[in-house]
Structure 1
Amino acid sequence: GPMQFMPGTWRKYGVDGNGDGKVDITSAYDSLHAAAKYLAASGAASGKIEQALLAYNHSIAYVRKVVSIARQLGY
């Protein structure tokens, strides 16, 4: 799907993000809501953004890139 969830992770965090009654890994709406749920559970909800990003993608370079882009965009 759009957020590239592993099947086990999708089973745990997948949600019906667009209210159509289906939890569909190929739906951008469902995948984005599931990603938010996953990131929140991984630390973002308590302000640990880097920890949450590292849980999503186990690459320090990825985390640095995302944080850098977020700062450039004013987040």
Structure 2
Amino acid sequence: MSLKIAASCVNCSACEPECPNEAISAADGIYVIDPAKCTECIGFHDDPQCALICPIEETCVIDNNYPRYQPAA
């Protein structure tokens, strides 16, 4: 599943440079995660970096609208 940024985001921008896939960007004053680019940091890190760096708990959360990321074989 891709991650998404919840409404609790305070727009601190800490997550954007941490994303190894450049899936996070600012859009209309809020940060968003592009589900087509998000791999949940699989292949790069053990945990999603946006969720680890975010100062507000439960802001970078699983987006159940997308299937879990599957790395290419």
Global fold match (TM > 0.5): no
TM-score by length of 2: 0.31
Larger relative helix fraction = 1
TM-score by length of 1: 0.31
- The structure having more radius of gyration, on CA atoms, is 1
Larger relative strand fraction = 2
